[in-house]
Every structure is written in C-alpha cells, then in structure tokens.
Structure 1
Amino acid sequence: MRRRFLLALSAFLLLLPGIAAARDTLTIGVSQYPSTLNPMIDAMLAKSYVLAATQRQLTVEDQDWAPVCQLCVKLPSLEDGDAETFPSKTEEGEPVTGVRKTYEIRADAFWGDGTPVTTDDVLFAWEMGRNPETGVDILKAYQDVLDIEVHGPKRFTIVNRKLDYRYRSMGDFSVMPAHLDRPAFAEPKEYRNRTLYQTDPTNPGLWNGPYRVAEVQVGSQIVLARNEHWKGTRPAFDRVVIRAIENTSALEANLLSGSIDMIAGESGLAIDQAIAFEKRHGDSYTVIYQPGLIYEHLDVMLSNPILGDLKVRRALLHAIDREAINNRLFAGKQPVATGSVNPLDWTHTTEGVPTYPYDPEAAKALLEEAGWTPGPGGIRVNGEGQKLSISLMTTAGNRTRELVQQVLADYWKRVGVETVIRNEPPRVFFGETVSKRRFTGLAMFAWLSAPEHLPRTTLHSESIPSEANNWGGQNYTGYSNPEMDRLIEAIEVELDREKRGALWAELQRLYATDLPVLPLYFRADSYILPKWLEGVRPTGHKYTTTNWIEDWRVAE
C-alpha cells in the first residue's frame, strides 16, 4: 500500500509546474522553429538559440556587451602586437588601412565526432562565405577578408581589407566542419539544399558546443544531447529538448501543464502575456524582464508603388498612436522607436532626428497630397480608382503580434487605408517569404542586434536579396540610397569614437527621413523560468543565453 502511495505521489509531482522528479532533461518552449540549422544560411532567432548551445563561434559579445573568445584563446589587439595595420585599398581602389590579426583556436576544441576544430574549418567557412552563389547573409564580411595565413592546425592570421572599429572580434564569421560538409559545397548554388545541416542534422560531427543535435522533428522539436567531445564545463542536463509551439497561448498552457519546464525569453511570450502570467503564477516561476536591442518594426516592400511613396509611409506612421500601444498593451515597458538604434546603445541620438507622433489629421493631409482621396466605404482611392489597400504579414500564432496587427489596421482604417492581414508559420515567413522578398506590403518582425551593430546587411544596397545572389543579404525592403551606403562604409572604418558617433547621428537622421522601415517599438524579452533553474543570464542583445548553457544548474 505504501509503495502504491509513493508511486502515485511521484506521478502527481511530475504534473506540477516547476517540479521535476529527475533533472536529467530540460525542456524549453520557444515560439518558432528554425528554417534551417546551417549557421551560414538564413538569419533567424530560433536558429541562433539552438546553435548557441551546439555550434560555438570564434568570438561573441558577452552579458556585459564586450567581445570575448569562445573558440579562440585570445582577442588580438594592436597594443599587444597580435594585430597590425598595413596599407590597403577598397574594391574601388581607394586607399584605406587594412589589418592583420592573429588568432589561435583552443587546443580543446573538437567536433562531436572527435575531430579537432582546426584552421581547415576556418578556411572552409571563408571559401563558402565569400562565394556569392552560396547565399550567405554577410557576404561582404567574408569578401573583405583578403587572405587567411595558416601557421598550423590551430593558428591563423586573418588579413582584412579594412581596419574597423570591431576589429578584435570575428563577428558572425562561422567555423564550419570541413571534414564533413565540403562535398555539399561542390555546387555552391545548391549548397543550402545539400548541406548536412539540412540532410543529416543529427550527424555528431556538425556540432562543437556542449550539446549536439540528437533528434529532429521538423516543425515540432529539436532534441540536444551532451557532446561527449566537449572539453569545457560539463552541462548539467543529459538532454535539452527545444520544443516549438508557435501559438503563444498554447506555449503558456504547455508550461502550466508541465510539458515544458521554461519559456525562452528570446523567442517566447510577449511582454503583455508575461506580465499577465506573472500576476497569476509569479509564486511558482521566476519571471525576468530584459530590455534589449530588439527592434520591432515593419519592413516595407519599397517596390510596391503605393509604399514606394514617402508621403504614404509617413502618413502610416502619423496614423498610429504608438505611445498608446506601449502603455495599454505593454504596461509602458516597450518604448516607441524613432529608428533602429536603441536608446540603450551609446550611438543613439535624438538630435535632428525626424519623429512621427500620432497625428491623424497630418496623416490624412499627406495621403491627400499623395493623390489618395476618400472613396466608397471610407477607403481612399487614387485617380485611377485603385483602392489604398496594403498587405500586412507577420508570424502566425504570435498572439501579441496578431493583436498589434488588429490595432494597426484599426488606426489605418480611420484615415482611409485598408489593411489585408495574411500570416504564415515563422519558418515559412522567415525562410521563404521575407528572405526571398515575396511579401508585397508590410512585414512585421524584430531585429535582434549586437551593441553598436553596423546595419550593412539590412540597409546597404549591396545586401538586397535576389535570385542572382541566391537570396543572400537582409535588405528585404530593397532600400538603395548612396548616402546610406557612404555612411555605413564610413562608420565601419572610423576608430575615433567621437567622430564615429557623429556619423551614427547622420545615419539615424537619414533613416528617419527616408523611412525604408516603419519603426514600432523596442522590445523587452520576458524569461519564464522554473524556480529550480539557476545560471540563465539574459544579455539584452543578439547573442542568446544558450551561449552559456553549460553554466545552467539545478538549484540545491
């Protein structure tokens, strides 16, 4: 009888939120499933979250917003002599200062099949990254590497065309498993479909982090297992299950039922849902709110004749009360964005930056100037009888984004703009529609950036995805302005902080004047954690908490 009671008690405890009998598995709920697991193809936060636990980079930015080594031994510097400048030239032949910087890969860095991480993996990544047919988002960064001088299996020197303010870091330069994935690169244009990260993602040799991908259920979950060849701090959990639940209400329900242990802040509940959740269940969970460099916005398809008109874009912003959205939906925790640079970043400025406060009368006047007059049913029409109708897309199942969509549509209807809402699952929305510029109107999503992040991939004209570059780049709007290109290139090579700040101010003024993107607000991430989990430290920027997953522990 006693034995039956204990068994029943154990089963009951397993169903309670925040209580687990065995701590060998951690199950994390996220709101998106990655479109791919290849580190070099498609930028998607859900993918970054998985890769940070399984595929370490040479360098990242830490919780204090400083560059640190992951796979390297030391960050090079001009002062220490392991970085040095040399006369160089731009692609156009203009003189610039180049930099040679030497790195050493950690002796204890191994892929999950026991193969050491070596300079071959660095060379392979460079070969792929600089090939325009591969479709890599940061093509220019790889092409600006003029040479890689190999000094041995673990030591190499990067020869960069230009010395820039981030020179000590390797940024998003990946290290790829040459011993496994090189055959898939035989035809560069087909690489994204033939890579083992797509065809054989559970191959241990693809992963060099504390965990490796052990099981993939496409669209549903990714199971991570300890990497037996990881030589760093031993992670506390034998397995980590990352479960994608794209409906955020269902995500919350799964947490309360015990199906998942926590909800990732990087891809989980929106701030309004987290606030409501904490009021009801705060005694059982730890809720952390982390303001960060997360920019919720509307990408604009500038090739659409309606949205290509700046007066229309300005009218759309004047027509919405973003302060009210922040106060009523987000309890004032998600401030209105005037541009893409967050006030938390030292480069942010308001001086001379155009703003678009709520002013429906100004919105109507701008639409009149653009040739849109009131028509049947209150929807404006132009001289040819065309309705002022705009498509608005976002990630299906995200309750907050879908609510914001309805609010935006209501505001715009008041000034005579019809909104057509059409949403898609995140892996389709990001993997196909946005990345291949297939949306026709507005696309609502967020950029998560690093501190003082140069927007080359999102605003430079060279970064517009097309079939010709195999959909590489993240300038999904198609924005092209020579002055913006000039500012981006000037910021990149300006080492003087004061002068660089002045250039950043010019960039922000131009961005807010041209409005290639409609700013909404800066998000705060909400982490819903079990009381028994310690060591999760939000960063507030693009490098996710899973970069330090080996430090997560069960509280004693």
Structure 2
Amino acid sequence: MMLYSTSKEGEMLHQWRYLFAAFAAAALLLTGCAPQIVTITVTAPPETVVVTATPSPSPTAAPPEPKVLTVCLVGEPDTLYLYGGSRMAATRHVMEALYDGPIDHLNYTYQPVILQKVPSIADGDAVTRTVRVREGDRVVDAAGKVLTLMEGVLVYPTGCYAEECAVEFEGEPLWMERMEVTFALREDVAWADGEPLTAADSVFAFQVASDLATPGSRYLVERTARYRALDQWRVKWVGLPGFVTPTYFLNFFAPLPHHQLEGRSPAELLLADETRRYPLGWGPFIVEEWVQGDHVTLSRNPHYFRAAEGLPYLDQVVFKFTSGAPEVIARLLSGECDIGTQDAEFGPFMPLLVQTEQHGLLEVVSATNNGWEHIDFGIDPVPDYRRADFFGDVRVRQAIVQCIDRQAIVDEVIYGRSVVPDSYLPPEHPLYAGDDLVHWNYDPMAGRALLEEVGWLDEDEDGVREAHRVQGVRSGTRFEVTLLTSSDNVIGQQVARIVKANLADCGIRVNLETRPSWEFFADGPEGPLFGRRFDLAETTWWFDDVPPCEHYMSSEIPDKGRWYGGNPTGYSNPDYDAVCQAALRALPGTPEHEEYHRQAQVIFSEELPAIPLFLWLRVALARPGVLNFALDSTAQSELWNIEMLDLR
C-alpha cells in the first residue's frame, strides 16, 4: 500500500515513484526472497511523504516451455496394435515412439534394444541341431514349404543345403537339421503402466500371432515348432526341421502386455481401443490424444527404461495427418510441422527443395537405400536375337565402365547425395569387400585404349568405331548398340542421356529406347530384359541384408522353361557360381559367410557383368532447429531414434 499527498506537489511525487521502485528492488535483493514490510521515507519539499510498501516475494523462474515436435505424416494410421497387420508407413512412424525395438535394423546390421544381445551362432545362443524325423512329422521341404513328411517329399538331410544333395523321403526315418535360438530380455524394461516386461509377454504375443484371427504374415509362426519361456527373462525359439534361416536372430515375437490383455481373444484384441488407439507400449512415448482425421499427440512415458539418461528429450510429439508431399512441404515452410517423413516421396520436388535448403528454410535429410541402379550388359542374348558379340570380351566391359562418368551422374541426377559403389552392395554394408574390389575411375583415355587393344578402331574417322579382327565379330561391324530403359523411370532416362554422351566420346554410338515397365520386366521370351533381347539395360535391383550375388549365377540365366531367372545378362563363370553358392549356404556370423561373399564381389568387380551406377535415396525434410534427426539406410522409419530428437 502507498500513502501520498494529493496537493499540487503531486507531479514531483510522480517522479519519485521510480526512485521508490529502485529502492524496493534493492531491498528485495539485499533481504532475499522472504516477504517483509519495507518502509521508506522520501523527503520532497515542501512536505514529507511517507511511503509504506509490502513487496511481493521474488518471482520464481517460469518453467521452460514444453518441447513439442510436430511430424507431418502422409495419411492416418489404421491401427497402433503391434499385431494388427498394418502395412501403412504412418503406422510405422508412430509405432517407433511407442515400441522401442525390440531389435533395430540400422545400416544393414541388427542391434538389440530391449534384448541383452542379438543371438549368434558364434556366441552359442543360436545352434543348429541334428534331429531324427519320421513320417507324419511337420518339416520344411527343399522348396521351403511347410508340410507333413510323407513318401516322395524332397528334403535336405543333415549337412545338405542345395538342390543337388536333396533326397526324397522313402518312409524310413532320416536325420535333418533344425535351429534353436535363445533370446534374453533386458531386466530393466517396463510397460508404460510400470509393470515389468518379461518373457511371458513375448510368449503371450506368440500365442496371439499363432491364432488364425490375427492378420499379417504367418511365415515365422508356421515354421516354429516351439516358443517358450525358460525363465522370467529368456525365451527359446525352436524351428521345424529343415528350416535353417540366415535371419534366425529375428525369430523373436515382439511382446504384448500379458497382464493387461490376458483373457481377451485375438479377435477381440483387433477391435479394442486399448490395442488399436491407446496401446500399452514400452517406448519413450505414450498416446495422449487421437483426433481422428487430424492428429495424434504423444507424451513422455514416465516408465521408459532409458529415462535415467534424460530420454526422451522431447515432452510431446504431435503427428499431423496430411494428403501428400505438396501439403507436407507447405506445412513445413509455414512452420506448422518440423519434420516431413520420407513416404511423402519428395523426389519430384527435389529441385525446389534443394533451393529452399540453400536459403536456409528447410533441411533435406537423405540416406542411400537398398535400391541399386546399374546397367546390365547383354553378354549372352538368346540365339534368335541376332547381334554382334559386343560384350563377350571382358576388356570391352572394362573399357565402357571407364568411359562413363558415374560421379557426374550422381552429381546431376541425385544432387551429389549418393555414392558410386564398386559392387552390388553399398559401401556401408558390413559385407562390402572394400579395398579388395577393383575400382574403375572415370578414365576415357584408358577406355579408348582398351577398345583399340580389342580391335575396335575408328579408321574412317566418322566418330563410331568398327571391328577390326575382333574375335567373333564380322570385320567392319560398327559399335552401335541400344540402351533400354523403363519409360516409368524419369531419372533412368536422364542417366541414359548422360551415358549416351559419354560413350559417344569413346566412339560408341548408343540409341535410347524406352518401354513401359510392364513390358520391360515381363517374363521371357516376350519381355526384352528377361527374354535376353537387349544390348544394354538400365535397371534397379532391390536387395535385403543378404548380398544378391545370385543375380549373376549361371543357374539364374532366364531360358526356355525358366524365363523368370534373375540373371538376364547371360554372364556365366564357374568360379563365381561356386563362391556365390557357398556364400548363400553359409550362415551369417560365420567366417565362411563373410569370405565367400567377399570373393564373389571381387570377381564381379573384375569381370563386370553390370555397371554399378549409384544407390537410390530415401529423403525426408526437417526445419532448421531440429536436432539429431538422421536417416538410416535400413531403418523402418526415420524416427528410429525418436527418443534422441530435440529442438534448438
């Protein structure tokens, strides 16, 4: 309260109020935060004014604003139930925040999240056992199908992993191999309600997944003989005889909260709000609100097992539902969203996006994916595709790869964001052979020299080389070929034009031809690629963790009666076949697996049945100020580390 005169000296008193405020502030600083009465006497002629003030306590610091990250999704999740059978990218992104792991797939390797480790044969928590099988037993046959063992069924006996040693079951018991894998859970993981996550939850999930009412793939369930808890933290998976899989370490069933859902049928779980919209997870966030057609809001999970590390850094994550790339980009530029996910397919907008990044408006975040762009040589076409043997001599293939500026292709059509590999694997793949591979630089002078060594000369100086004593090629044949691309692949057509110009500089004339993808990839004999009726063909192979060396095995050459083979080049090399087959038989984690895949890549890089061009990209967007956001080549979602995301 303040008491003051209302005389004509009021104007002077108004000036003294600022002085009073200064004194009051100083008093509070000197006396700390305890509230008390402060009386200050201010003399202002011609009268004395007595001011009594009751200062407020020192204000405490305001709590920091909550950190809220907004992610623009394409579409709305159809369910958040782990066993709901969703195939939507929007579902995967939200699930990353609710369920951490159980195993992350990062950079072509697998990393444990809620498991103590990834099982391996080397460590002994994965083993292959020999078991005796009899008529009537469930087995996996040589074709990979689950069936009841009876006479005439073709199976792999112990020690056999290829068709040439498979045997027909004749009624007498025989020995086959089966796999057993033990998974150990971390002991500090809890559900979002605080209940511990245990092996019983994973066994319960297996039982749900095994029910016919549960949608989704039944591949692993059908090949599982037993799945049981060994104790509170360990589960053991046992496969059917004949099922020896290189990805045995993934045969773990993501847990469901047994304590919450027990007693409900799998059919009921599909429709329950507790599983579809507000599921109990173990990840860094929980569902706080779902406004249908607009957004889902997640908040921190107080029981997250990494909370002691200060994770997650964010307080909330809001997933906004959008219609596609144009809306995502608009919302990012307006500040309504912080991240735009890769499934928006930003490829057609890359020129615009690169410019916005240069102006500091957005960040274009990218990583290579598992799409391998390459040019296949038509080394051995079908007999009725009458054409000179341009590519049978390996030196010609080596010359052509040196005549193509592959880095310029990456810089121009992929904005410099990809890499030029030396084999059919990306350099970051753990089995990439690296320095053992033959690296072919852009060197048109060396390419021309090799062509001349083979006998391809341009004696008439018309810019196109002709054959002069080239083995198997009529003298005077012009080196003129066709490069086939899919009319649906716009980037592929850009690449083809660059290749045409590059090869013209080396005296090779290239004609460009496009076909619709349905025709381009049709089975032979009609389809040009798998019918082996092409000179050069630019294609994309999509691979998984297992290196796709089989694409260049002799047994994969499409031919009469087997037009679906994966080696349309016609390349055939017994040494390559042997090491690739050995690599495919070996189990991951063994020295043989690594060594044979290395040898296969070395032969490929020397003999070049195809020209590696680049790895395709996955692209997402982020506003400046989003921290720790990084795409990974193999993660299911770019939000794989959502607990680490932060805002500046």
The TM-score by the shorter chain falls in which range?
Answer: 0.5 to 0.7
Deviation of the 1:468 alpha carbon: 4.0
Q: Which has the higher helix share?
A: 1
Which residue in the other structure is 1:488 paired with? 580
Would the aligned equivalents of 1:59 and 1:67 in 2 still touch at CA under 8 Å? no
Select which of 346, 350, 355 maps to 1:277: 355
Which residue in the other structure is 1:264 paired with? 342
Select which of 434, 438, 451 maps to 1:367: 451
Which runs of 5 or more structure 1 residues have no equivalent in the other structure?
1-22, 29-46, 125-146, 172-204, 209-225
Which residue in the other structure is 1:115 paired with? 213
Which runs of 5 or more structure 2 residues have no equivalent in the other structure?
1-69, 76-86, 131-157, 168-174, 183-198, 229-234, 253-266, 288-295, 298-317, 382-388, 468-473
Between the aligned partners of 1:240 and 1:360, the Cα distance in structure 2 is 51
Which residue in the other structure is 1:508 paired with? 601
Which residue in the other structure is 2:225 paired with? 149
Would the aligned equivalents of 2:357 and 2:364 in 1 still touch at CA under 8 Å? no
Read off the aligned partner of 1:85 and give its amino acid letter: R
Select which of 533, 538, 541 maps to 1:444: 538
1:361 is paired with a residue whose SS is helix
What is the CA deviation profile of residues 338-371 of structure 1, one whole-angstrom value per residue up to 9, with x for unaligned ones?
Answer: 2223332333334453333223233233334545
Select which of 396, 417, 420 maps to 1:312: 396
**Closer/same/farther in 2, CA of residues 354 and 527 from structure 1, 3 Å limit:** same
Between the aligned partners of 1:356 and 1:281, the Cα distance in structure 2 is 36
Asked if 1:67 is matched to 2:110, the reply is yes
Would the aligned equivalents of 2:92 and 2:636 in 1 still touch at CA under 8 Å? yes
Deviation of the 1:539 alpha carbon: 2.2
Which residue in the other structure is 1:413 paired with? 504
Which residue in the other structure is 2:196 paired with? none
Between the aligned partners of 2:329 and 2:451, the Cα distance in structure 1 is 41
1:406 is paired with a residue whose SS is helix
**Closer/same/farther in 2, CA of residues 495 and 323 from structure 1, 3 Å limit:** closer
Which residue in the other structure is 2:631 paired with? 538
Between the aligned partners of 2:504 and 2:409, the Cα distance in structure 1 is 16
Which residue in the other structure is 2:249 paired with? 168
Number of aligned pairs? 434
Read off the aligned partner of 1:349 and give its amino acid letter: A
Read off the aligned partner of 1:276 and give its amino acid letter: V
Read off the aligned partner of 1:378 and give its amino acid letter: G
Read off the aligned partner of 2:571 and give its amino acid letter: Y
Between the aligned partners of 1:370 and 1:61, the Cα distance in structure 2 is 50
- How big is the alpha-carbon RMSD for the aligned residues of Structure 1 and Structure 2? 5.8
Read off the aligned partner of 1:388 and give its amino acid letter: E
Between the aligned partners of 1:349 and 1:48, the Cα distance in structure 2 is 35
What is the CA deviation profile of residues 444-497 of structure 1, one whole-angstrom value per residue up to 9, with x for unaligned ones?
Answer: 34445445x3324423344445674573x6434343333223212333416665
Between the aligned partners of 2:89 and 2:559, the Cα distance in structure 1 is 27
**Closer/same/farther in 2, CA of residues 408 and 69 from structure 1, 3 Å limit:** same
What is the CA deviation profile of residues 491-526 of structure 1, one whole-angstrom value per residue up to 9, with x for unaligned ones?
Answer: 341666555444333222201122111022345543
Between the aligned partners of 1:475 and 1:323, the Cα distance in structure 2 is 26
1:26 is paired with a residue whose SS is strand
Which residue in the other structure is 1:201 paired with? none
Which residue in the other structure is 1:93 paired with? 165
Deviation of the 1:116 alpha carbon: 1.9
Read off the aligned partner of 1:303 and give its amino acid letter: D
Read off the aligned partner of 2:495 and give its amino acid letter: V
Between the aligned partners of 2:603 and 2:573, the Cα distance in structure 1 is 10
Would the aligned equivalents of 2:329 and 2:340 in 1 still touch at CA under 8 Å? no
Read off the aligned partner of 1:88 and give its amino acid letter: G
2:159 is paired with a residue whose SS is strand
**Closer/same/farther in 2, CA of residues 49 and 360 from structure 1, 3 Å limit:** farther
- Greater Rg over alpha carbons, structure: 2
Would the aligned equivalents of 1:536 and 1:545 in 2 still touch at CA under 8 Å? no
**Closer/same/farther in 2, CA of residues 417 and 49 from structure 1, 3 Å limit:** farther
What is the CA deviation profile of residues 223-279 of structure 1, one whole-angstrom value per residue up to 9, with x for unaligned ones?
Answer: xxx96798867676999678699xxxx998999899x99462795439974773344
Read off the aligned partner of 1:67 and give its amino acid letter: Y
1:62 is paired with a residue whose SS is strand
Select which of 441, 459, 480 maps to 2:552: 459
Asked if 1:379 is matched to 2:426, the reply is no
Deviation of the 1:317 alpha carbon: 0.7
Would the aligned equivalents of 1:297 and 1:521 in 2 still touch at CA under 8 Å? yes
Q: How does 1:6-405 map to 2 (within 5 A)?
A: 26-27=73-74, 62-63=105-106, 65-67=108-110, 83-86=127-130, 87-91=158-162, 92-93=164-165, 98-101=177-180, 107-108=204-205, 115-117=213-215, 122=220, 149=225, 157-159=238-240, 161=242, 166-169=247-250, 262=340, 264=342, 268-269=346-347, 273=351, 276-280=354-358, 282-283=360-361, 285-291=362-368, 295-304=372-381, 305-326=389-410, 333-374=417-458, 377-382=462-467, 383=474, 385=477, 387-394=479-486, 396=488, 398-399=490-491, 401-405=492-496
**Closer/same/farther in 2, CA of residues 509 and 121 from structure 1, 3 Å limit:** closer
